[in-house]
Amino acid sequence: MCGICCVITVGTDTGDVQWIDDKICESLRRRGPNHSEIVQKSLGSHNGLSCCINFSGHVLHLRGSLTPQPLQDQSGNILLWNGEIFGGINVSEGSNDGDVLLASLKKCNENEELLSVMCTVQGPWSFIYWQENKKYLWFGRDFFGRRSLLLHLPTCRNDSFVITSIACRPLTRSSK
């Protein structure tokens, strides 16, 4: 089981946001103790507000070669994957299912194509996917919810939007 987390912060200075606290980070690392990585993507600013997305991937390595997360391609797409593909998409022997899924998602030009790819995946899964060419953030889990994926909507101006595979408390700006 891997730990995945995506946090979106908006503010006049996103640098003062403690985007993930130590307890949450430690819980994510326990879900994926073999590799941890954070990728930060700035979406720029508009009307004095800047937006930043943090992708945090934590890998539990069970078989094959270790594939670090977040997965990224040359087009700027980012995938956080917590699952296993048993069918629906061909994953050849020795290939990583997350790499294969990222390549399949990259080919999608229309929303319906992306949804169709995810509907064909057989097995337990949850994912968070940044589609660079459209600046879309996709996330979901299999129909049966066999991999957790939790959502925290901001409740105040200094709060963050969070998607994660573990329970966490709301994240707010630190008081410097």
- Catalytic site positions: 2
CA 26 to chain centroid: 17
Residue 165 and residue 5: Cα distance in Å, rounded? 6
- H-helix segments, 10-58: 22-31
Question: Which residue, 163, 168, 130, is CA-closest to 147?
Answer: 163
User: Could you give the CA distance from residue 66 to residue 43 in angstroms, rounded to a whole number?
Assistant: 30
Which whole-number Å values give the CA distances from 149 to 15, 20, 55, 58, 92, in the listed order?
26, 16, 14, 14, 27
In the sheet that holds 125-131, the strands lie side by side as 71-72, 78-83, 125-131, 136-141
What is residue 50's DSSP assignment?
Answer: E
Q: What is the CB-side half-sphere exposure of residue 59 using CA atoms within 13 A? A: 22
